[in-house]
Chains A and B, each alone.
Chain A
Amino acid sequence: MTLSLKKGGNLSLSKEAPAMTVAHIGLGWDVRRTDGVDYDLDASLFLLDAQGKIIGEDGFIFYNQKESTCGSIVHQGDNRTGDGDGDDEVVKVVLAKVPEKIQKIVVAVTIHEAEKHGLNFGQIENAFVRVVDDANQNEVARYDLSEDASTETAMLFAELYRNNGEWKFRAVGQGYAGGLGAMARSYGLDIK
């Protein structure tokens, strides 16, 4: 059964889906229906250590670096399975294979050229993040964040984190006005 989370809410993936080995993190939003530039949203991940800092340059997973060094975290790019479930971007995490030094995986979404086109998350309808058990495609958790989004152009959608030997999922829904660069810098990564 899907658990719908509210902003700030969390749940234990290890408890809700004990058999899940590969977490499919799906992100989606509605296509633009008014005229103008199409919404092009990019998902990226920050792999953080126990201090909340990025583990290194290889801890930033995005469209130009789709896979973690350990191979356990893979950004799939666009949904190509045609499941019809509407995920626009998918990240797969092999939970047991994530190295111990990675304590937290932050899932962020940015709007491509947001400022140039005057776009922000408040204009994008039905944005969501969900965790699906890759083996049986059962949805474990879901967070609809359209109502929590406003004038931000970059948002932390959710995070997966270790807690007492369990993997937990938290609905974050926090925006960054400064875009991807500001977000990355806050985790100690220098982006030009």
Chain B
Amino acid sequence: MVTLSQGANAPLPTKDLDIVVHFGGKADVSSFRLFGNGKTRADSDFVFYNQTVNDDRTVELNDAEQQRKVFKLRLGQLKPDVEKLAFSMTVDKGTISNLQHVDLMVMDGANQLISAKVPMQDRIEKALILCEVYKRNGEWKIRFVSQGFNGGLEPLAKHYGVDVESEPETPNKEQTPVNLSKVTLTKSQKTVSLEKKSNHAHGKIKVNLNWDRKKSGVLNVFAGGSSVDLDLGAFVRLKNGEQFVIQALGRSFGKYKISPFVQLQGDDRTGDASQGEWLWINGGKWDQIDEVLIFSFIYKGTPNWKGLNAKTTVLVDGQPPVETSLDEGKSGLSCCAIARLINVDSNIHIERVEKYFRGIQFMDKAFNWGFRWRAGSK
């Protein structure tokens, strides 16, 4: 018999087998049939206490006993495009750690092939992915996952692409359809709010800064002799109070997948790329973000914004692009606070700022962020 710890996997020697979940306490188990993209396709892919067998009887749940649930698998009969079967458990009250124990057994008839024990310490999930049975190079394997979701069945089901009915949305007659044409923020129309689509997280939020580059020419020579390098940066404040400065200077590029969920995508120092500079904000983590202040400063060249035609565009999946241009063009001030993206009830509230400062420290002071500063270079 093989004992698996969290994360470990093992080959399954037979296609007809039972997965037994044995636990102390009250819990429900379910199974998801997953295709190439790791998602279910239809309701019949979901096996649980209300639907104990799927359409081709490849997964059958024996739900009769309170604390011992048995899934009967016929892997050989699965449609060829099924990549994975996932098995999970959920509790209604408390968390998984309220159960006395959770044990997983893979049985070939009376013969136990595999055993795995869920570590119960410090569990705060309400739903747990116990294991995944998956095809790898034509062979079936099992991985003991033992990870889950604090929100219970709903995020778990969504994870596998199942639509779970939640509270019906109240139809709002005044709701305006999404306007996909461009929104331009100006001095008179300063703000726009991008609403969270019901139940879905925001996608990737992309912020672009672009400007005209004239590499040579009489005017530039007189203006200081070199082309201007604009840097894009951001102040980020998370809901937990942590604050970050994201900028190329000092190589503080940030991180996208993990805190602070904001990342600078390379520094267009040469000005060759026609696309300008990009900053990505992880919209999926927007609920953890309080505010992002987008700024730009002239890293190299004379601080003169005139004639640069610098423009910032905020792109959010499924939303119209929001543009604002830096047209007040102050000279002598190297730093410009462009816009603020503020989390207002999970919506992305975008406010045009366009205020110029002698340096980043002055901008910090003006907006009361309270960073401590020291000199840096690239």
Contact = CB atoms under 8 A, between A and B. Distances in A.
Interface stretch (A35-43, A96-104, A184-192): A35-43
B148 interface: yes
A80 B255 contact: no
Interface in A80-98: 80-82, 88
Given A151-B6, A151-B8, A35 B151 contact: yes
Interface residues of B, number: 34
B286 interface: no
A34 B148 contact: yes
A40 B9 contact: no
Contacts of B145: 123
A33 B141 CA distance: 21
Residue among B119, B159, B265, B280 with the highest chain A CB neighbour number at 10 A:
B265
Contacts of B57: none
A44 interface: no
Interface string B331-348: 000000000000000000
Contact of A34 (B7, B119, B122, B129): B129
A121 interface: yes
Contacts, number: 71
A40 B136 CA distance: 26
Interface string A131-163: 000000000000000010111000000000000
A80 B7 contact: no
Interface string A46-88: 0000000000000000000000000000000110111000001
Given A34-B129, A35-B151, A38-B259, A82 B280 contact: yes
Contacts of B122: 118
Interface string B1-22: 0000111110000000000000
Given A78-B263, A80-B266, A118 B119 contact: yes
A117 to B, nearest CB: 10
Interface in B250-264: 251, 253, 255, 257-259, 263-264
Contacts of A3: none
B265 A82 contact: yes
A38 B261 CA distance: 11
A77 B253 CA distance: 9
B313 to A, nearest CB: 15
The 3 closest A-B CB pairs, nearest first, are A122-B7, A82-B265, A34-B147
11 contacts: A35-B124, A35-B125, A35-B150, A77-B251, A80-B263, A82-B265, A118-B119, A121-B7, A122-B6, A122-B9, A147-B9
Given A34-B129, A35-B150, 5 more contacts: A39-B258, A122-B8, A150-B9, A151-B7, A151-B8
